[in-house]
Amino acid sequence: MQPRDLSDHVAYEAGRGIEEVARELGRNPSEFVKLASNENPHGPSPAATEAIRETAASVNGYPKAAHADLTEAIADQWGLVDAQIWLANGGDGAIDYLHRATVEPGEDVLVPDPGFAYYGMSARFHHGGVTEYTISRADGFAQTAETVLEHYDGERIVWLTSPHNPTGSTIALDDIEHVAAETGEDTLVVVDEAYGEFADRDSAVSLLEGRNGFDARDDVAVLRTFSKAYGLAGVRLGYAIVPEAWSEAYTRVNTPFAASELACRAGLAALEDDDHVNRTVETARESRAAMRDHLETHVWESEGNFVLAAVGDASAVAEETQARGVIVRDCSSFGLPGCVRVTCGTEAETERAIETLNAVLVDLDVQPAEVTEP
């Protein structure tokens, strides 16, 4: 007995953790700073931490009430009805739900390249196919409707990422609307806003609800997560925002109790902790600016909690930077072997990353021609 043919599937490559790297190098974990996974440098919302402590003794029960409470709270935050909120086990869980609700076996989804590998992985898990559109370094990783539409060929879902990982670029709401208008009536446009809190622009929820001068659409969905700005990556909590007409589909595609009791109670508390989110966003903005100003290489403009930097040989630079105690993300797995992604850390972490990466570029004799745009 063997599993089904998984030869078309690839393993997801997560950023390396401090404990993993320290064990490998035989060193103390305290020597390292991890800036590879776009995690919140301030940790979880303190209110969420307290909620987890208070909830721990009641995790013997299923999270029915907590699930309903969090759904209602998120809907209120966005001015939506509860049925438009699809809670999930992280943003990747919401991706699975949207594919289950939409993709028939053999139908394709259109995904960005480079981009989040799980869009394609999930589609293939659900027996769908994957086509790609390119977000090009030669174009400064700009995202436009034309870039997407020139590759569109009737796919069931079009995935947009704003801000985009790993580049930090965004796509304007006018362009998102144009994509939705020019794709078929059976195509759903999903805007992944996992890093939305860090961007200085309106959410694509405006397109679902007919706000800010847009007509309401029933072919756009939005993805959000508690992993980044709220600092809850470890409890796995995300959600999709869907058109109201999709409301009944959730009960037919979600797993029973799609988010845990701890996750729901943490999410409820985090939603009320504006101070933590504001501090996190401000830290990211300051860190992005510092890295653009002081890294001695090309750094692209970013609206996420990370920057993409040109380094010539990403593998060599990431390895040497890691050896010096700063873990960054080699973007070879994204198809960008000349770039590393650096998460926005605290002021001290950002300063250390800048000093370390600059020294590595000098010591490895990375030439200007290797790191200039494009």
Q: Does the pLDDT value for residue 7 go beyond 80?
A: no
Q: Which residues pair with 327 in a beta bridge?
A: 34
Give pLDDT, residue 369.
66
How does residue 172 score in pLDDT terms, banded at 50, 70 and 90? very high
Both tokens assigned to 96: 């699975």
Q: Does the pLDDT value for residue 27 go beyond 80?
A: yes
Q: Does the pLDDT value for residue 192 go beyond 90?
A: yes
Closest to 315 measured CA to CA, from 332, 292, 293, 328: 332
Region 349-363: what's the mean pLDDT? 97
Q: Does the pLDDT value for residue 185 go beyond 70?
A: yes
Region 189-217: what's the mean pLDDT? 94
Region 179-187: what's the mean pLDDT? 97
Identify the weakest region by mean pLDDT among 25-29, 192-196, 224-228, 306-310.
25-29
Region 3-32: what's the mean pLDDT? 79
Give pLDDT, residue 19.
82
Give pLDDT, residue 16.
74
Q: Does the pLDDT value for residue 213 go beyond 90?
A: no
Interval 136-156: pLDDT, tens = 999 999 999 999 999 999 999
Both tokens assigned to 75: 């809907």
Give pLDDT, residue 359.
97
How does residue 8 score in pLDDT terms, banded at 50, 70 and 90? confident
How does residue 24 score in pLDDT terms, banded at 50, 70 and 90? confident
How does residue 5 score in pLDDT terms, banded at 50, 70 and 90? confident
Give pLDDT, residue 26.
84
Interval 232-248: pLDDT, tens = 999 999 999 999 988 88
DSSP 81-121: -GGGEEEESHHHHHHHHHHHHHPPTT-EEEEEESS-HHHHH
How does residue 334 score in pLDDT terms, banded at 50, 70 and 90? very high
| Whether the Cβ atoms of residue 304 and residue 367 lie closer than 8 Å to each other | no
Give pLDDT, residue 144.
97
Report all structural domains of the chain as residue ranges with CATH numbers, in order of start. Answer: 18-44+274-371 (3.90.1150.10), 47-271 (3.40.640.10)
Give pLDDT, residue 367.
79
pLDDT more than 90, % of the chain? 84
Measured between alpha carbons, how far is 153 from 150 in angstroms, rounded to an integer? 8
Of 18 and 318, which is predicted with more confidence? Answer: 318
Write the CB contacts of 240 (distance below 8 Å, at least 6 apart in sequence).
85, 86, 88, 94, 97, 98, 190, 221, 222, 223, 224
Q: Does the pLDDT value for residue 106 go beyond 80?
A: yes
How does residue 90 score in pLDDT terms, banded at 50, 70 and 90? very high
Interval 107-118: pLDDT, tens = 999 999 999 999
Q: Which amino acid is at 140?
A: G
Both tokens assigned to 95: 């991706």
Region 204-216: what's the mean pLDDT? 91
Region 197-221: what's the mean pLDDT? 93
| Whether the Cβ atoms of residue 80 and residue 241 lie closer than 8 Å to each other | yes
Mean pLDDT, the chain, rounded, equals 94
Measured between alpha carbons, how far is 138 from 197 in angstroms, rounded to an integer? 27
Q: Does the pLDDT value for residue 60 go beyond 70?
A: yes
Measured between alpha carbons, how far is 121 from 176 in angstroms, rounded to an integer? 23
